[in-house]
Chains A and B, each alone.
Chain A
């Protein structure tokens, strides 16, 4: 899975939780889930669960802490998939 595909997959996962449609149109690696997409911080745990399901991986608490941005999430997913 290349970068673009990974970003698209994450966009798909985040979509139900976003509250800023305009920002969602321009998601980049630097996009912050809470600050930019206005996702309720409580929903981050749902994004983590949906990510686990999508990629069939298990994400630990300390790894979840890195998943505040698209880039952080991509790193966690990539490292899991390559492990």
Chain B
């Protein structure tokens, strides 16, 4: 029998809130984390605004040792460690002593690690000073630096790896971790992702003209998912992490359960039928969402809330249309939909996990965070769904049971995960069922 998988811990480092409680406050208040950067202006960026989490030197020292922070410039690894360690602690877990946690691992994704370190190294290399790179240039620039640092700090002994699928990375990580636990190959996994910040990460997007250049004077209004005046995404950064574990394990150690991961789907549009390196094949997007429903044995009508990809480009109406087709619902029958990117921008490889943390927090604590910056709803979206389905104020409700979270990335890749509200009472009977089948206790930790 495949294992049920629940979420027992969350951690987040977001542009509008570092740490769970700050983040939740910001979500409910619709607080923007987008600011103006003179440095980008000096480099002649068209888009000079972005989202960067506020992390002081003192805060860094709560997560990494002075030795680890020596010559350390990899913001993505820092965000991964902070979010991952917070999630682990939030799940009531401690750091391993001599013996690693053989049944716990992590799948922590990123698009790239240590671009600042890479730049620094390049200068040294090109001036014949290869040895000046020191001991940690590799650890800080390897993609798997994010999972390697985190795994070492906690002492994870199961699979420790990094996935990378552009802006779908974070959502994909959750599904990869889910599948591993479901298959009985691990009892517990940290699933997450992070994205670095700065000109060396964002420059390529600026060159593609996909970021907005119209809001350098009005940064907090720059990220406008679903708006008629959406003019490109605003770059963000940060990290999010979720501790996923078997239901048995969570119940056995009395861990508070945030939500259940029902599963989901990933696929690719093959860069065919309108899909390209940078644009999604709509048929693939619809198939991914439908497959997610099928895999989790729910129907389109069961989805109460969509946590969209919705980046604030001209493609937002297409995404909404894809949801209407995949769920078979439109107009007033469409579920609520929101995009966190209106507050924090597009955190790229970090987006899927930060947005999933927001989705799970909302499920657990009974609120739908608001969409900001789309008072002027795009007419193509208004033609597809009822405007009331796009909340502009926080809605407090316990009625949301199923959230569908999707992310789409360069390379025409898609990921959709389904979260379900955890109801102890409703699950009581299931719990007994679980106990019956739970014959061999896994010797763990």
Residues of A within 8 A of B (CB): 16-17, 40, 42-46, 49
Contacts and interface: CB of A to CB of B under 8 A. Distances in A.
Contacts of A45: 131, 134-135
A46 B135 CA distance: 6
Given A16-B66, A42-B136, 5 more contacts: A17-B67, A40-B135, A42-B135, A44-B135, A45-B135
Interface string B104-140: 0000000000000000000000000001101110000
Interface of B: 66-67, 70, 131-132, 134-136
Contacts of B134: 45-46, 49
A44 B50 CA distance: 39
A49 B67 contact: no
16 contacts: A16-B67, A16-B70, A17-B67, A40-B135, A42-B135, A42-B136, A43-B67, A43-B135, A45-B131, A45-B134, A45-B135, A46-B70, A46-B134, A46-B136, A49-B131, A49-B132
Contacts of A43: 67, 135
A44 B135 CA distance: 8
Most buried by A among B66, B70, B131, B136: B131
Contacts of A49: 131-132, 134
**Complex A-B, nearest 7 residue pairs according to Cβ-Cβ distance, in ascending order:** A42-B135, A45-B135, A46-B135, A46-B134, A43-B135, A16-B67, A49-B134
Contacts of A46: 70, 134-136
Contacts of B132: 49
Contacts of B135: 40, 42-46
A33 B186 CA distance: 38
Nearest to A60: B131
A43 B136 CA distance: 8
Contacts of B66: 16
A6 B131 CA distance: 24
Contacts of A42: 135-136
B9 to A, nearest CB: 29
